[in-house]
Amino acid sequence: MTREQIEVITSMYREDISYAKIAAELGLTENIVKHWVRTNRKLYELPRRRNLAEKSGVLSESTMLDSKWDIKRGVEWIKRRWSWR
């Protein structure tokens, strides 16, 4: 990624412009832009965008990755069939 492309991605992303529009502006695919943002989010201090699944209470993969808790293990324990003997 060139320095100019990085500047365009970071500024447009911070303005809440969609991945598709950012990709079209740069002549890249949407998946390349998404991947770059995900892998460089901390380095460039890009805010995480919340999706509808997280707002509705559904546990998405991004929620599990962001959490300090081991959510996957917690869900496993909640769903576990307990046998009482």
Query: What residue ranges do the domains of the chain occupy?
Result: 1-49, 50-85
What would the pLDDT profile of 8-41 be if each residue is shown by its tens digit?
Answer: 999 999 999 999 999 999 999 999 999 999 999 9
Q: What is the pLDDT of residues 2-13, one digit of tens each?
A: 999 999 999 999
> Does the predicted model carry a pTM greater than 0.85?
no
Instruction: Give residue 5's Cα distance to chain centre.
Output: 20
Helical H segments across 1-85, by residue range? 3-14, 19-26, 30-40, 52-55, 61-66, 71-79
